[in-house]
């Protein structure tokens, strides 16, 4: 009886191990298929855009990237104003959103009373669920008029008088429909993304590190500056790059408040302009398939993908560098 029981248990264990091995094989293949599928999807997108934009790239050559002219009736197109507008509005959004997002994340994790911590986090995350067209309408009816009549004149009369930096805030505000307003509305849109990820990163800072710093007599500010932020630096950089990716590709809200001007390049943030997503959304339906305009718009989409990939690669390098620096500092402290 004992021998039969042992044999049955051995058989059950063998069958179980076989099922486990089968499950491992299935999981490994599914995960591999997902990874290969993602790479294949990206390749298909790039090939499709490259094929659709071949005519424009071949016709204009490298000068397409540096030209500022956009005359559809004469089939003269230049990409630089839209590349400039995309980079400028995204930079404004990142400069404004990152400090506020990190500050909000620090408030929630370090200072905020526990009863209101969860509601505040939920309200912050809900900003990401608002459709971009709603942000655009809010920008038209509320933000742009207030910017044009209140904030931008104040910036022009104060910062606008500072040498060098004042050139960014000089000239007519154009009723609030300009690069600066588009950057502000993008900052509001990417704020919940950055703050949510930063909040999660700050929440996993080891409690022992904080308690050790407090035991040595550090204040809350010193703990945040010397322990919390250095430990979470990698995650904050990654969160900022995710927000930048959202800002680079945003279309509707930017189109509604940027002013939709063509050929505008310059240091004045109060001038109307355009971005790559905005000009594609505004002109693609009217572009004829026989001419160069549609091919030009597709090539602009390809340029936007390349810009996004470049920033993603830079983000990976920054994350890797900050990770090595943190490991090096931990090793020195341990030694």
**Quick one: 4 and 126 in the same domain?**
no
Mean pLDDT on 215-235? 86
**Quick one: 140 and 267 in the same domain?**
yes
Mean pLDDT on 321-333? 64
Summarised one tens digit per residue, pLDDT across range 90-127 is: 999 999 999 999 999 999 988 888 888 888 888 888 88
Mean pLDDT on 287-292? 70
Backbone angles phi and psi of 71, in degrees to 5: -125, 90
* End-to-end C-alpha distance for the chain, whole angstroms: 61
Rounded mean pLDDT of the chain?
A: 85
**Quick one: 67 and 211 in the same domain?**
yes
**Quick one: 39 and 148 in the same domain?**
no
Is the predicted pLDDT of residue 333 greater than 70, yes or no? Answer: no
**Quick one: 86 and 233 in the same domain?**
yes
CA distance 51 to 295: 9
Q: Tell which of 52, 70, 95 closes a domain.
A: 52
**Quick one: 148 and 2 in the same domain?**
no
Q: Confidence band (pLDDT; 50, 70, 90) for 315?
A: confident
CA distance 120 to 108: 8
Domain of 66?
61-334
Summarised one tens digit per residue, pLDDT across range 146-181 is: 999 999 999 999 888 888 888 888 878 888 899 999
The 8-class DSSP code of residue 267 comes to S
**Quick one: 78 and 36 in the same domain?**
no
Backbone angles phi and psi of 149, in degrees to 5: -105, -20
**Quick one: 217 and 281 in the same domain?**
yes
CA distance 144 to 256: 10
Give the pLDDT score at 234.
Answer: 83
**pTM, entire model:** 0.86
Is the predicted pLDDT of residue 139 greater than 90, yes or no? Answer: yes
Q: Work out whether the CA dihedral 171, 177, 181, 183 comes out positive or negative.
A: negative
Q: Confidence band (pLDDT; 50, 70, 90) for 20?
A: low
**Quick one: 30 and 125 in the same domain?**
no
Dig out the tokens for 98 from the structure: 């990152």
Q: Confidence band (pLDDT; 50, 70, 90) for 14?
A: very low
Q: Tell which of 52, 76, 95 closes a domain.
A: 52
**Quick one: 291 and 179 in the same domain?**
yes
**Quick one: 71 and 110 in the same domain?**
yes
Summarised one tens digit per residue, pLDDT across range 33-85 is: 999 999 999 999 999 999 988 888 888 888 889 888 888 888 889 999 999 99
**Quick one: 77 and 179 in the same domain?**
yes
């Amino acid at each position: 009886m004992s021998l039969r029981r042992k044999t049955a248990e051995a058989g059950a264990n063998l069958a179980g191990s076989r099922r486990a091995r089968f499950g491992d094989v299935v999981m490994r293949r599914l995960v591999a298929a997902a990874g290969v599928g993602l790479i294949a999807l990206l390749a298909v997108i790039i090939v499709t855009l490259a094929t659709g934009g071949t005519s424009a790239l071949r016709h204009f050559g490298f000068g397409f990237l540096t030209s500022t002219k956009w005359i559809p009736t004469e089939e003269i197109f230049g990409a630089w104003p839209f590349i400039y507008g995309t980079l400028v509005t995204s930079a404004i959004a990142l400069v404004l959103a990152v400090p506020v997002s990190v500050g909000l994340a620090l408030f929630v994790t370090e200072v905020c009373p526990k009863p209101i911590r969860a509601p505040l986090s939920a309200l912050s995350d809900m900003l990401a669920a608002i459709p971009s067209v709603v942000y655009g309408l809010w920008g038209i009816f509320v933000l742009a008029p207030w910017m044009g009549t209140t904030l931008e004149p104040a910036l022009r009369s104060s910062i606008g008088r500072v040498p060098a930096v004042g050139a960014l805030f000089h000239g007519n505000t154009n009723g609030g429909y300009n690069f600066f307003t588009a950057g502000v509305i993008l900052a509001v849109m990417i704020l919940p993304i950055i703050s949510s990820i930063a909040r999660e990163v700050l929440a996993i800072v080891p409690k022992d590190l904080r308690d050790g710093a407090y035991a040595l007599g550090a204040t809350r500010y010193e703990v945040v500056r010397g322990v919390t932020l250095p430990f979470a630096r990698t995650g904050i950089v990654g969160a900022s790059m995710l927000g930048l990716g959202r800002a680079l590709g945003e279309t509707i809200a930017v189109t509604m408040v940027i002013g939709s001007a063509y050929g505008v390049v310059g240091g004045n943030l109060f001038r109307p302009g355009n971005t790559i997503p905005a000009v594609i959304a505004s002109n693609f339906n009217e572009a004829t398939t026989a001419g160069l305009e549609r091919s030009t718009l597709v090539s602009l989409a390809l340029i936007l993908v390349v810009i996004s990939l470049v920033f993603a690669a830079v983000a990976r390098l920054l994350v890797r560098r900050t990770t090595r620096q943190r490991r090096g500092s931990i090793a020195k402290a341990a030694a």
